[in-house]
Amino acid sequence: MGVIPENVKGAVDTDPWLEPFAEVLSERRYLADKWAYDIRHSTADQSEQSLASFARASYNSYGLHADGETKEIRYREWAPNAARAFLVGEFNNWSTESHELKHKDQYGVFSITIPPLASGEFAIPHDSKLKVLLVLPDGSHVYRLPAWIARATQPDKETARQFGPSYEARFWNPPVRYQFKHKRPSFERKNDSLRIYEAHVGISSPEPKVASYKEFTQKVLPRIRDLGYDAIQLMAIMEHAYYASFGYQVTNFFAISSRYGTPEELKELIDTAHSMGLLVLLDVVHSHASKNVDDGLNKFDGSDHQYFHSLASGRGEHPLWDSRLFNYGSFEVLRFLLSNLAFYIDVYKFDGFRFDGVTSMLYNHHGVGAGGAFSGDYNEYLSKERSDVDHEALAYLMLANDLVHELLPENGITIAEDVSGYPTLCLPRHNGGAGFDYRLAMALPDMWIKLLKEKSDDDWDMGNIVHNLTNRRHGEKVVAYAESHDQALVGDKTLAFWLMDAAMYTEMSLLQPLTPVVDRGIALHKLIRLITHALGGEAYLNFEGNEFGHPEWLDFPNVTNNDSYHYARRQFNLVEDQLLRYQHLNNFDKAMQECERHFKWLNTPQAYVSLKNQTDKVIAFERNGLVFIFNFHPTQSFADYRVGVEQAGRYKIVLNSDRADFGGHNRIDEAASEFFTTDLRWNDRSNYIQVYIPTRTVIVLALA
C-alpha cells in the first residue's frame, strides 16, 4: 500500500483492515469537506462564515418572519420553476393580486416585505391562514403551503367538508412567546451514559385519543425521570398529514405536529425536561419526504425535481416507502436540510437527533432487495467496483454531524438508524469518519424475536447470544435495545407478547396464583433487557411502555381498523394498578437504570465475557468492575456456582432480578450474600467466586 491519506489516517489507525480502502474513504471525505468550504464562502461578499452561521442565516431568511420593532413581515421562498408568486390569505381576503413577491435573481428566489397597518399592528394577524400562489410558466396556478412554514394545522370539519382535508398554513407570531428558563443538561459524549426513553406524544395516554404536549409534560415526563432515564427521543414531531405514518411521511419540515398542541407548548415540554436533567432528542426524517402535493414539498414549484431527484432519473422515489427522495447534491437542498437541524436546536432547544433511514440514504439501492443483504465484507461498502454508496447523501450526513457538533460542542448527540454496518459511520469526522456519535444496534431486537419465535428455551445458544450482543465495530458506539417502536407495531409482537401472549389479559392479577406462562415471561423479560443493556452497547434505548411489558401492539387509526385509537395509546394505568404484575417489570426497569446511573457500565470498554456455558445456560461477564451472572436455564438452579473474576476482594449483590418487588421468588438472601474471591485462576480470570444463581435469574455484583 502507498501512503495513507492524512484525512483518514485516524480511521485506519482505529481499524487497520480499512487500509486497502483508504483512498476511497479519503475521496468520500473530500466531497463533504469541499461542500463545507463552498458553504463557508457562499456569502455575497465572499467573506468566510461558519456552517452554523450559514444554517442560521438560512432559516432566519427564508419563510415568514415578523420584526417586533418595525412590525414588518418578511417572506422569502425558493421556487425556481415559478414565473410569479403571490402571498394570499385571510389577511388580504385571499387576493391573488395584492401581495406579489419580487423575483430577485436567476436562482428562483422570491421575496416580499409587508409593512404594518396604519394602526401600527402587523398586517398579518397571528395564527391566521395563508398560502403562496405560484404562477407556472404555462400560466397555470398552484397553491402551496410555504416550504419553511413554522405551523400547519388540520382544517376543522366544516372546512374539510367544503374544501377537502388539506392542511392549512398558519402565520405563527404569538404576542407572548415561551421563554426558556432552564439550561440544557450537561453531557460529555466521551464519558457520560446515555439511557434513552423513546416516546410518541400522541399515544402517551391510556385513553383512546391523541395526547397533547401538555399532557406529556405533566404526566409522562415525571414517569421518565423517576424511571432513571437521562434522555428522551421524541418521534413524529415534524408535521405529517397522515397520522398512521408514525411521523415518517413528513409534509412540513419546519412545523411541529399541531395534533399535539402549539409550538409554545412543545417548548415548555422540552424546557421542563431540561429542568429534570433530561436531554431531548428529535427523531429527524431527512431520508425522504411525503409524496403529498397539497401539503408538502412534492412538486412544490410545479416541477418534480426542485427538492428531489427527478422521477425520470429513477432516483426520485423510494421503491417501498412510496415517498420522494432528496437530491443531496443540490446546494439549496443542503441549505434547507442543514438549516432545519439548526432551527430545531435553536428554536426548540433539542439536544440532538436520531437520523431516520440512514441505510436508505447511504445506498442507491436503499437497502432494498439483493443490495440490502450485507455480509460485512468491506467491499460492499468501500469498493469502487462493488459498492453502491450514494456519495452525496454520505457527504450531507457528514455535514449534518459537523453542524450539530458545532452548534452543541459539549452535549450534541447524533444517532444513525443504520442496519448495514457501514464502516466509519460512527468515527469522528476529523478521523475520517461520518461523525455520528452512535448507531442503533438493529440486529439485537431481531435476535430476541427470532429466539422467541423459533427456539424452545432449551435450545437457546448462549454463545450465539453473546456473539450477537458483542458483535460491533471497535471504536464505534452503538445504542443497544431489546425492542423499539418497530417491534411494537401491528404485524409484530412486543417481547412481552411473544413471551406471554393472551395470558397478559387473564393471568396478570396478583389475586390469582402465578401461572407458569407469566412466571417465565416476567423472568425472561427482565433477563433480556438487562443483558442487552449491559452487554449490547455503549447506550441503551427503551420504547415507551415496554418498561412494564405493554400488553398490546401499536396501530394508528386507519381504514383497516375503522379509525380506532384503541391500539394508539399506552396503558400506563396498568402500572399504577397495585393488583397487577406489570408493576414488577416497571420496578425492575427503574432498578436497572438506577444501577447503571450509579455504577456506569455504559460508555465504558466492552465487557469481558468469561463464561457462556451452553449446558448450564449461564453467561457471566465483567464490565467496569461489575460482575453480571445470568442463568437462562428453564428449570435448573445452581448452588456454589463458580465464576471467574479479575479483581480480588469481597463482592456484594447490587441488583437481583429474583426480588419479590420485581416479580421474583426471593430465593436469594441478599443480606447474607457476600462473595469472597479465591486466589485461583478460573475461566481465564485471576480469581473466582462461588454464588447461588436460581433458574431464570440475573445477579449483578460489585466490590463491597
For residue 521, the one-letter residue type is G
Q: What is the dihedral of CA 426, 429, 434, 435, to 10 degrees?
A: 50
3-state secondary structure 490-518: ECECCHHHHHHCCHHHHCCECCCCCCHHH
Residue 381, classed as helix, strand or coil, is helix
DSSP assigned state of 203 = G
C-beta separation of 453 from 494 below 8 A: no
Which DSSP string corresponds to 304-334? S-SSB--GGGT-SB-TTT-EE-B-TT-HHHH
Output the nine-digit C-alpha cell for 239: 408535521
Catalytic residue among 417, 418, 483, 552: 417
Confirm if 623 and 546 have CB atoms less than 8 A apart. no
Grouping H, G, I as helix, E, B as strand and the rest as coil, residue 98 is coil
Region for residue 8 given its phi and psi (left: phi exceeds 0; alpha: psi -120 to 50; beta: otherwise): alpha
| 143: DSSP letter | E
Residue 482 C-alpha cell reads as 431489546
C-alpha to C-alpha distance for 305 and 681, rounded to whole angstroms:
67
Catalytic residue among 268, 301, 351, 356: 356
Q: In whole angstroms, give the CA distance from residue 19 to residue 148.
A: 43
The type of residue at 398 is M
Write phi, then psi, for 635 (nearest 5 degrees): -135, -20
Distance CA 467, CA 677 (A): 28
The answer to whether residue 19 is catalytic is no
Helix (H) or strand (E) holding 612: strand 608-613
The three state secondary structure string of 544-597 is CCHHHCCCCCECCCCHHHCCCCCCCCCCCHHHHCCCECHHHHHHHHHHHHHHHH
What is the rounded distance in angstroms from the CA atom of residue 543 to the CA atom of residue 106? Answer: 48
Q: Is 447 helix (H, G, I), strand (E, B) or coil?
A: helix
Instruction: Give me the phi and psi of 48, to 5 degrees please.
Output: -80, 140
Identify the three-state secondary structure at position 457: helix
Of 389, 290, 399, 391, give the one whose Cα is nearest residue 337: 399
Task: Using the structure block, give the residue that is written with the C-alpha cell 469526522.
Answer: 429
- The SS3 call for residue 617 is coil
Helices then strands, counting H and E runs in the chain, come out as 19, 29
665 contact partners, CB below 8 Å, separation of at least 6 = 658, 694
Q: How far is CA 37 from CA 127, 326, 335, 679, in A?
A: 39, 22, 14, 60
Q: Is 282 within 8 Å of 257 (Cβ atoms)?
A: no
- Determine the distance from the C-alpha atom of residue 372 to the mean position of all C-alpha atoms in its chain, rounded to a whole number: 21
The 8-class DSSP code of residue 41 comes to: T
Listed in sequence order, the residues at least 6 apart from 621 whose beta carbon sits closer than 8 Å to its beta carbon are 466, 534, 535, 607, 608, 609, 610, 611, 627, 628
- Gap between the Cα atoms of 485 and 494, Å rounded: 9
Would you call 410 a catalytic residue per the annotation?
A: no
Tell me the backbone φ, ψ of residue 211, rounded to 5 degrees. Answer: -75, 165
Question: Grid coordinates in use for 614?
Answer: 451452553
**Residues carrying an active site annotation:** 356, 417
